[in-house]
Amino acid sequence: MCRDKRSYWVGLMLAMFLLATCVNADQNDERLDALFEDLESAPGVRISAVIERQIWAIWSQGPTDDSTSQLRRGVRAMRLGELDRALTVFDQLIEQEPGFAEAWNKRATLHYIRGDITLSMADIEQTLVLEPRHFGALAGLGSIFTRLQRPSAAIRAFEQVLDIYPQSRSSQRNLKRLREQIKGLAT
């Protein structure tokens, strides 16, 4: 890589780090447009992974300090296996901040873990209404369709992830596996 390109990407990484320290963002944060442009054109997996982390950091910042804290409490409860408590936290958060896409996405994940695919899909749908570029929600949708043995629908979901995030290794692997599965069914 030439020195000018490397300097550009190092500068970009530093700028993203500094920008990510701000609070009270969410999916409406104006920094996301540039990050998504950079994610689409990132020259490699390592750089795109840094950009991905910056996007997640912004998405995880609620419109208020309290909503950010609530989201963290819900995620912590999920990690500890306290699923009922996590659901209560996410339900309250969504009631207070219905426009906070990541709250819907985290509750979708929780519903998936609990085995409630219908509720998970409904929350993914709302996440995508609020943030159509939410590659995490799209990947979740792909996982649901895979679980439901609907490989064509799963492929479409993972292709949408790759349209937004071309370097997504997990979506690349899932897409390859699903295409091989369909190919195997056709023979």
Question: What pLDDT digit, counting tens, does each position of 111-145 carry?
Answer: 999 999 999 999 999 999 999 999 999 999 999 99
Which two tokens mark 102? 């990541």
Confidence grade of residue 8 (pLDDT, cut at 50, 70, 90)? low
Show the CA angle centred on residue 49, arms to residues 44 and 54, nearest 5°: 130
DSSP letter at 27 equals T
- CATH 1.25.40.10 location in the chain: 65-186
What integer pLDDT is reported at residue 185 of this predicted model? Answer: 75
| Angstrom distance (rounded) from CA 92 to CA 90 | 5
Quote the pTM value.
0.85
23: pLDDT strictly greater than 80:
no
Among residues 119, 168, 114, 171, which one has the least CA distance to residue 146?
A: 171
Average pLDDT of the residues in 150-176: 97
The superfamily CATH assigns to domain 65-186 is: Tetratricopeptide repeat domain (1.25.40.10)
CB atoms within 10 A of CB 140: 23
What integer pLDDT is reported at residue 133 of this predicted model? Answer: 97
The alpha helices in the chain, defined as continuous H runs, are 3-19, 31-41, 45-59, 65-79, 83-96, 101-114, 117-130, 135-147, 151-164, 169-186
Q: Are 146 and 112 in contact (CB under 8 A)?
A: no
56: which residues sit within 8 A by CB, 6+ positions away?
136
